[in-house]
Structure 1
């Protein structure tokens, strides 16, 4: 299928979406938006990657724009103040670099290097101001981006974000050991782990500074809000699995819904692709119902008080951006060089990564 993308150029371009990955409902019912700050965002995140030494200059020059990391965030957090969106985009770019570092530490059998990094990331998350000048760019990059994120909302939000990301770091450690030992988690084990490694609650937390408001616990934990948030993230994680299955099979990965289905449910590759796609489509249809429930919640919060009106508006902004996540994730996977495994010289080695160990001092 050919689909119209309004992504990274001023004029629409036609992108060929493989039939197995095409989702007409996304293309018709989830119109794509892009934050007007996007061109500056891309430029500044590219400069930040260089400044923090997160990618070598030659790889930034050749690959950074084509990886479309800023496009993904600019299509998600619509309405965010520019400084908030910039901090989120830099943090997101850092997250991809960290993910690649984790992968290379596994591929090159560097458990000691990973263990050191894991401990340093936990410390940097708790005291980012003390780690912005760290010798390891991945540690310094987390500290820099997180310190900026912590400036936007009160301490309660910061503590929640830190708690959620500590859990993500530990989930990455479980992934490390699974891959090192060749352990493919069962489907249920994988789904639980994936909610952490994909950082479901981190990206959901970041909806709040984008909306300029920390939501009350009762609102965030309300079943209508939480269900819509979870479905938007599950869609993203499972669609990522669908698109990255060839890359991850080539790289001897063990963490992919398709791989768990093949290993533990004895599905063929074709059957696994069909099942992952079914789950993806189910997320979309269930979200459309959950979205209405979350918007009804927003209506009930507007009780005629100033605070009620502000909370209602913030919930509407967050739910609107949950919807934007569907189209942003969808187009990202067809525009980003991160998934063009067939064009790589070595299908198991992304050309944009640095294979060397870092942070050994």
Structure 2
């Protein structure tokens, strides 16, 4: 569903991106997210999304739902900024790219769904902890940049400018192969930092103060982040979309 939704917003193509049309399309998804009545007949994709949101709401707390909605708002903002950049042929700086890609990738949403699918929610003090927030951010960045590495040439040909390879090549004034190596180095450093941060979290007083069941949920969540990073890489290696 995510790929269908992403690709639907790129029509008729990134270079011809109509920012008003993108905003209008996103409003239908936003209405479904907040349970508002449809303003027009819904497409099958929007109707499916509305049904999914209802199912998620039935198994999650209001706090989870608020966090989930905030991550969708970051995603919507990312898509609108991507449309503006693509239409203008503008490559963002690294400082602009990072929050943009984090939002548009939708990975924080996928991590929310880990809790919903598993029918558990981490304690609020864990969600707010510096280490868990750092783990989430590194996971989101690794998955997003991995996708960028595999899709860089295709996206450039299509007029999509929001890619780590494009960003490094343009702003470091270097050839693509050097930009690719630079992106790989960034990803490797993030993975190493992720491992260290996870070890620090699991050794912390905060983690030790949790119940046995809560500790198990934290480990489920950290394992899910590692699965996403490794699974994303493996999937890109075999997916026909990136061959």
Q: TM-score, normalised by structure 2?
A: 0.91
1:254 is matched with 161
- 8 A contact 1:213–1:314 mirrored in 2: yes
Distance 2:231 2:193 in 1: 18
* Structure 1 contact 105–114 (Cα < 8 Å) conserved: no
Equivalent residue number for residue 281 of structure 1: 188
Q: Which residue of structure 1 lines up, in the alignment, with residue 31 of structure 2?
A: 123
**Is it true that 1:138 corresponds to 2:41 in the alignment?**
no
Paired residue for 2:92, among 171, 179, 185? 185
Distance 2:138 2:117 in 1: 19
Question: Which structure ranks higher in relative contact order (CA pairs < 8 Å, sequence separation ≥ 6)?
Answer: 1
CA contact (8 A) 2:91 2:167 kept: yes
Based on CA coordinates, which of the two structures has the bigger radius of gyration?
1
- Aligned pairs, number: 240
RMSD: 2.0
Superposed CA offset, 1:84-122 (max 9, x none): xxxxxxxxxx21111101112444554443232122121
Instruction: Check whether the contact 2:85–2:91 (CA below 8 A) recurs between aligned residues.
Output: yes
Partner of 1:142, secondary structure, is helix
Change (3 A) 1:138 1:285: same
CA separation of 1:227/1:96 partners in 2, compared to 1, >3 Å: closer, same or farther? Answer: same
* Other-structure match for 1:326: 229
Deviation at 1:214, TM superposition (A): 1.8
Aligned positions of 1:79-228 closer than 5 A: 94-107=1-14, 108-127=16-35, 130-131=37-38, 134-228=41-135
Cα separation, 2, equivalents of 1:294 and 1:210:
23
More helix by share: 2
Q: 1:310 aligns with which of 183, 202, 213?
A: 213
Q: Which runs of 5+ in 1 are unaligned?
A: 1-93, 303-307, 341-361
Structure 2: unaligned runs, 5 residues or longer? none
Q: CA contact under 8 A between 1:241 and 1:256: conserved in structure 2?
A: yes
Counterparts of 1:275 and 1:193, CA distance in 2:
19
